[in-house]
Amino acid sequence: MKRYPLILFVFFSFDLLGQSIPAGFPIFEEIQRRNQLRVVDTIGDSFLIRPVHAMDTLYRFNKILDFAYSKKKLEFGVSPFINTTRILSNRPYNMGDYGMIPNPGYQTYLSGGINVKWKFINLDFRPELVIAQNKGYQTSLDQFTDSELRSKFFYWNRGDFPERFGKGWLISPWWGQSKLSFQFSGFEIGAATENVWWGPGQWNALTFSNSAQGFPHLTLNTTKPAKTFFGYFETQLVIGKLDNSGYDPSQFPELNDQYFKPFSEDWRYLNALMVSYNPKWIPRLFLGFTRTFQQYRGALGNGFLDYFPVFNGLTKDQYGYDRDADGQDQQITIFGRYVIPKSKSEFYFEYGRRDHSKNWREFILNPEHARAYILGFIQLFDLPSISKLIQVRGEVTQAQESVNRYIRYGGFSGGLGGGYTWHTHSKARGFVQNGQPLGVVIAPGANVQTLEFSMVEGIDKMGILLERLVNNQDFYYKAQLQATQRKPWVDFSLGILYDKKIKNLLLSSKLQVIHARNYQWQLDPASTPDFPKGKNLTSMMAQVSLIYFWNKNLDK
């Protein structure tokens, strides 16, 4: 065992990197990913682990001071300032960004900071502030039967997804995308509150994304793909602290009093591991997996595998059956991304399980149990005689339970309608931070398909976004609403996209019309048993992100 560190230093070759792009940062991740398809960018990042360290991107270290002290170089820089403002009418549209909440009304996000680097010590200080109007909105809970309400609160009692984040305006300062780390060759160890994104998704991820506010964590990770004799590796090991929102789930206090089981006041311990591999023989193929465990701190043991359960066996036969009784919640995913520069295209997938199999035979026979998945692509087309590109990209996220619930949960507490859904658990509650899912942006048990067509010239972009979101399908079938006159609640939306560079300022904007069919599974007042008709609702969302670079001309 003592020889392993030596082997690692023999095989791994790195260069020290500087500033990183916050996970899910507007414009920059998309540009970096697009450049990889065009072989403009020399970084071999898999985009399976983010933040991406910025070396050959537009987002380089924005240095304003560089001096020597005792022959040791100290670098100081100012991070770009970002302000995202969103106005949403009528109802929430399930999305988050660094702690922005899925509620109607006005809200704004502000972040900026500094970067200090001395020898192997790196400090990113990027606090953030969210100010949200946090308006109330109409729901259909007052129209549900007792049985339907119990089905609705079944998921609220196993997760943390409040309809509204308290009453009145929400003002939420946070440490944001901050990190203090120590870098040695291509490895980094540190403490952070920055968002982590695992997996190849562009709009969604099954484990971590920028949907929720970043959580405090310790990290041990690579800062660049590690070169070995049989390919490149990236990895990250995380120990984190997750908190519940503390808010009641519905906007009806009398229903909360009757059906809701209050949260524990304890915080949740998180252990997570991600590994990606790029085979030497297939340069543009990236494969990887993640594994996460969460558990309330008071139920945590004192052994090595209690603190690092990601190194336990993968099946219940190996891992044991008593861990679920102790309140441990596991998720595991595998994913892949294949980049084809010749055709300027990429394809990716992510498949996850929130409940590990009894053994490998059971996994092979029943791979759809407790699963969710993501499929996506990007395709670029050159326009002749001009320097513009057509970009087409799309993604499908399926978080609804599979149809095997009818057999698996028959006679169980879940009934014929199904059991848990993605990001929920009986004892550890939701895989969330402060009331928002850590991975999948859409509401629990939902499915979404997104398609974008745009014209791109450098940083500038104009395009349209088409999206179809089927809301809370697990609840719909668990409450057996399909046996009533009510149809699934489906959102159809059309968005106009516009990105523009103006000297040191970048603008990224979206204007979206959202038409909800059968909103909140409500029936139109004109509906009859012979001619059932759902209630429809049309909403608007306008969002603008402004990114300002200090002391830097982006034309250079």
pLDDT score, position 71: 53
Of the listed ranges 19-28, 68-77, 152-161, 202-211, the one predicted with least confidence = 68-77
Tokens of 147: 């049985």
Confidence of residue 189 (pLDDT cuts 50, 70, 90): very high
d(C-alpha 25, C-alpha 7), whole Å: 36
Q: Please state the domain count of the chain.
A: 1
pLDDT score, position 415: 47
Q: Is residue 554 domain-resident?
A: no
Q: Which residues pair with 21 in a beta bridge?
A: 52
Domain at 412, CATH number: 2.40.160.130
Q: Is residue 479 domain-resident?
A: yes
Q: Is residue 439 domain-resident?
A: yes
Q: Is residue 81 domain-resident?
A: yes
Q: Each residue of 428-470: pLDDT tens digit? A: 989 999 999 999 988 889 999 999 999 999 899 999 999 999 9
Q: Each residue of 359-368: pLDDT tens digit? A: 888 788 888 8
pLDDT score, position 417: 53
Q: Each residue of 258-274: pLDDT tens digit? A: 999 998 889 999 999 99
d(C-alpha 150, C-alpha 152), whole Å: 5
* Helical spans, DSSP H, in 54-203: 146-156
Q: What's the domain range around 280?
A: 4-66+73-548
Residue 70 has pLDDT above 70, yes or no: no
| Average per-residue pLDDT for the chain | 87
pLDDT score, position 241: 98
Confidence of residue 10 (pLDDT cuts 50, 70, 90): very low
Contacts of 52-57 with CB under 8 Å at 24 or more apart are 52/20, 52/21, 53/17, 53/18, 53/19, 53/20, 53/21, 53/223, 53/224, 54/17, 54/18, 54/19, 54/20, 54/21, 54/28, 55/15, 55/17, 55/18, 57/21, 57/28, 57/31, 57/32
- Evaluate the omega torsion of the peptide bond into residue 80 and state whether it is cis, within 30 degrees of 0: no
Q: Is residue 467 domain-resident?
A: yes
Q: Is residue 553 domain-resident?
A: no
Q: Is residue 556 domain-resident?
A: no
Q: Choose the most confident range, by mean pLDDT, from 29-43, 189-203, 218-232.
A: 189-203
User: Which position has the token pair 């402060």?
Assistant: 434
**Residue type at 99 in one-letter notation:** G
d(C-alpha 360, C-alpha 370), whole Å: 15
Q: Each residue of 352-411: pLDDT tens digit? A: 998 877 788 878 888 888 899 999 999 999 998 778 999 999 999 999 988 877 666 654
Confidence of residue 41 (pLDDT cuts 50, 70, 90): low
Calculate the CA 382 to chain-centre distance.
Answer: 31
d(C-alpha 504, C-alpha 549), whole Å: 5
Mean pLDDT of 180-209: 95
Of the listed ranges 173-182, 190-199, 291-300, 365-374, the one predicted with least confidence = 365-374
- What is the percent of the chain where pLDDT is above 90? 63
Nearest to 32 by CA among 49, 54, 48: 54
pLDDT score, position 77: 84
Q: What is the pTM of this model?
A: 0.91
Confidence of residue 319 (pLDDT cuts 50, 70, 90): confident
